[in-house]
Amino acid sequence: MFQIHELAKVNGNVDTRMLLRYYHPHGRELAQKLARSPLGRKQLEEMRREREIELEAMPIAA
């Protein structure tokens, strides 16, 4: 994955503001890229663990 400033440079943008104006990735595409990288997999696992803890702490509605 590229850092935002690298992506702006590769895309030919002068700065990141122009990149953000015209670049609108789909969430699914970003999630797939994230899941393919080792760091991304680690981050996703941590997010899942945090979500499980939150769900366990929620009271059950009667």
**62: in domain:** no
**52: in domain:** yes
**pLDDT one-digit tens code per residue, 12-26:** 888 889 888 888 888
Rounded to whole angstroms, the Cα distance separating 44 from 31 reads 9
Give the relative orientation of helices 38-57 and 27-36 as an angle to the nearest 10 degrees: 110
Least Cα distance to 11 among 38, 2, 52, 27 occurs for 2
Domain of residue 16: give its range: 4-56
Question: What pTM, to 2 d.p., does this model score?
Answer: 0.47
Q: Do residues 38 and 27 touch, judged by C-beta distance below 8 A? A: no
- Per-residue pLDDT, 62: 63
**18: in domain:** yes
- Per-residue pLDDT, 52: 95
Q: In the chain, how many domains are there?
A: 1
**61: in domain:** no
**pLDDT one-digit tens code per residue, 26-62:** 889 888 888 888 988 898 899 999 999 999 998 887 6
**22: in domain:** yes
